[in-house]
Chains A and B, each alone.
Chain A
Amino acid sequence: MQLFIEQLLNGVAMGSIYALITLGLALVYGILRILHIAHAAIYTVGAYVGLFLFKLSGSLIIGVAGSMVFCALLGVGIERFVYYPLLKYPPYVPLIGSIAVMLAIEELCRLVAGPQILTFQAVLPFPQFQIGGITVSSTLTAVYCITALVLLLLWYITSKTELGLAMRAVSQDIPIADAMGINSHLIVSLTFAIGSAIAAVAGSLVGIYYNQVYPTMGTVPAYKTLALIVVGGLGSVPGAVVASLLLGVAETLLIGYANIPLPRDALAFIAMIAVLMWRSEGLLGSR
């Protein structure tokens, strides 16, 4: 029982991290209807910049905040210089562009930081808990708190602010949003900035969680988060969060605890295939 609860806690943490990465993808799909594969590369850059700034300054807060700013700019840059010029073509064109950007950024990370695995030794400034013989490490506490904070902030922005109203309007009809006085291109850029900043948080957290930062750390998340937004319902942010949490728990419990002889990473894709066969609109998608 104790092992089960510990695994469950780990699973929720895993799912939270998936959620942080998938959020950006769901936001971008929701607003531009493109599959932003390169988002996972932004997550990798987020880990590197976070680590670099942390080593330089000795402060984790500076590391993560700096990484968020850097990644927000990177995300906006990709939107302005890659996606925006390609939007007039069929959706597979920006998709190919996105894959190219993903590979380019991975290679750039390899060139700049080297192919080896770097360690990210940092203690997250969060308390450790001990409840009935079960230890909740400070890293787990950090993952829970940060994810909850990010989700709360995002919910607040999208549902309670004028910016959020504009984001939702733009995601439903860009020309008409423009005709309402909304600068939709600016809103699209802001959406990329928000999603990319969250990816930077995710990258730094994963780097610390596994104590590893390496150039291809975004490859598996790239495909897994793609499966997750399909499972959650394309463009549905709540759906992406639910699917991420479920996957984190399922991976940890079914494979880590119940010892089902499957590769851990296969689960997301099995879920995607199942969803595509029986509920193609996804868990929380419309239509």
Chain B
Amino acid sequence: MLLEVKNMHIAYGDIRAVSGIDFSIEQGELVSIIGANGAGKTSILNSIMGIVPLKNGKIVFENEDITSLAAHQRARAGIRMVPERARVFPRLTVYENLMTGVYGLRKTINLDVQIAWLYDLFPILRERNDQPAETLSGGEQQQLAIARALISNPSLLLVDEVSMGLMPKLVDQVFDVLKQLNDQRGLTILIVEQNAIASLEISHRAYVLETGAIVHQGMASALLEDPKIKEVYLGTGA
């Protein structure tokens, strides 16, 4: 088991965002957590990353309890995230944004190889290399955020609402890239998404989240066929 989350509780003041969920991800899996806006999906990712504190529960990563580790220590341990709305550093250039992704690790990573690989994956970033990230379009920023998360060769990639605000064509492209990373490089990926169809189509397994609790789980292909899920989350009707 690469990641195991047990009895996760997250609250903001008195407002409960996530109440006691359990889930796990195997090495090499691509797993989705789908659910409506406000179901608590982003809170889950942020607390795995360590930038939102757990109220209760336990997070085990590579057989080690990381619950008490700070976010920067978890990043060093191999967890990286693509945040909601990309959140690239607006006044750093594209290249500098990528460099933040290998902060403290430059000596242990072959930077030339990584940058060549990422610029082949997202050619637009090569063109924009010296531009401040704030001058990039939404889709370009999203690609930069993915590249920034990948540059350190993480063992677990957390992807938060990557489809938000993107044109449908771009959504497909980004999901294709994630699928490729999982297929060809064996990268373990956890996606949280409102766009249930797009994420279920590339996932092995999925969890369905409703107001902070897991209400369904199973193979992604089975969930795609489930009439109840179809009606509520895929918006296609039975």
Contacts and interface: CB of A to CB of B under 8 A. Distances in A.
A286 B104 CA distance: 30
Nearest to B158: A179
A182 B76 CA distance: 9
B104 A181 contact: yes
Interface stretch (A63-71, A101-109, A164-172): A164-172
Report, as a range, how many residues of chain B touch the other chain.
20 to 34
A179 B103 contact: no
Given A179-B51, A180-B101, A173 B87 contact: yes
A216 to B, nearest CB: 38
A176 B89 contact: yes
Interface stretch (B19-27, B92-100, B204-212): B92-100
A175 B90 CA distance: 14
B83 interface: yes
Contacts of A169: 89, 92, 100, 103
Report, as a range, how many residues of chain A touch the other chain.
10 to 19
A72 B101 CA distance: 29
A178 interface: yes
Given A169-B92, A173-B89, A175-B71, A180 B83 contact: no
Given A172-B89, A181-B103, 11 more contacts: A162-B104, A165-B96, A168-B92, A169-B100, A172-B90, A175-B51, A178-B70, A179-B80, A179-B81, A181-B152, A286-B91
Interface of B: 46, 49-51, 70-72, 75-76, 80-81, 83, 87, 89-92, 96, 99-101, 103-106, 148, 152
28 contacts: A162-B103, A165-B92, A165-B103, A166-B103, A168-B96, A172-B89, A172-B91, A172-B92, A175-B46, A175-B71, A176-B51, A178-B70, A179-B51, A179-B81, A179-B83, A180-B101, A180-B103, A180-B148, A181-B75, A181-B104, A181-B105, A181-B152, A182-B72, A182-B100, A182-B103, A182-B104, A183-B70, A184-B72
